[in-house]
């Protein structure tokens, strides 16, 4: 791990366990070894470190490219293993970068909704996630549901509330050959819809 990432990882683990009373449902299903695409709903700025601290080794994050516009964020986000991408229409260079990382055994976290929700609910996926999944069909796609992070830090809030957060881990999502070969926007949206339905189906209580 990069020293900055290691420090943040260690602090995040302690903070989520103590201040947010983190509960993880089906932790044993978490893919800790080998390449994996991790897909999760997006409730808050708390989500990336929340997911990252669950893994024993480094994970990477696909982040909306506009987040890199401020000079400080352009310097800071790469230290947190964030990779910029246009989630509405990923360019070939971005996809190739993801493919290289996964072929090296890495793990990528993607928030298919593209940005934080405004109401705490789970919404539709951006079409770009379907394109990414179809290009990386051999890699497991593991759904994760985050519950409670919205109550702690809603989208327009600048104050964190220390309330319980639950994370639910699901089995890898299975895609048919026809689903992965579907072309155009409709095919991409169908893959995204299947991903979000898998996330919705995960429990928020034990």
Domains and CATH numbers, the chain: 3-200 (3.40.1130.10)
Does 1 have pLDDT greater than 70? no
Q: Which of 113, 85, 88, 112 is nearest to 99 (CA)?
A: 85
The mean pLDDT value for 130-142 works out to 86
Dist CA 44 CA 195 (whole Å): 19
Q: Nearest-CA neighbor of 140 among 51, 12, 34?
A: 34
Summarize pLDDT for 25-74 with one digit per residue, the tens.
999 999 999 999 999 999 999 999 999 999 988 999 988 887 888 888 88
* CA separation for the pair 68, 63 (Å, rounded): 9
pLDDT at 88: 67
Given a cut of 90, whether residue 171 has pLDDT beyond it is yes
Q: Average per-residue pLDDT in the chain?
A: 90
Query: Given a cut of 90, is residue 82 above it in pLDDT?
Result: no
């Amino acid at each position: 791990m990069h020293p900055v990432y290691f420090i943040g990882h260690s602090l995040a683990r302690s903070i989520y366990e103590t201040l947010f009373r983190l509960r993880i449902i089906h932790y044993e299903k978490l893919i800790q070894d080998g390449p994996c695409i991790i897909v999760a709903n997006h409730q808050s700025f708390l989500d990336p470190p929340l997911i990252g601290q669950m893994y024993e080794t480094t994970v990477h994050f696909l982040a909306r490219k506009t987040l890199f516009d401020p000079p400080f964020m352009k310097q800071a986000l790469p230290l947190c293993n964030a990779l910029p991408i246009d989630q509405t229409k990923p360019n070939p260079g971005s996809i190739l970068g993801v493919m290289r990382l996964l072929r090296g055994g890495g793990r990528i976290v993607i928030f298919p909704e593209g940005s934080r929700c405004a109401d705490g609910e789970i919404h539709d996926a951006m079409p770009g996630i379907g394109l990414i999944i179809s290009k990386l069909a051999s890699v497991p796609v593991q759904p994760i549901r985050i519950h409670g992070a919205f109550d702690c830090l809603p989208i327009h809030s600048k104050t964190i509330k220390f309330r319980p957060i639950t994370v639910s881990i699901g089995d890898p999502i299975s895609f048919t050959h026809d689903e992965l070969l579907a072309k155009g926007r409709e095919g991409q949206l169908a893959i995204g819809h299947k991903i979000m339905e898998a996330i919705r189906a995960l429990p928020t209580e034990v």
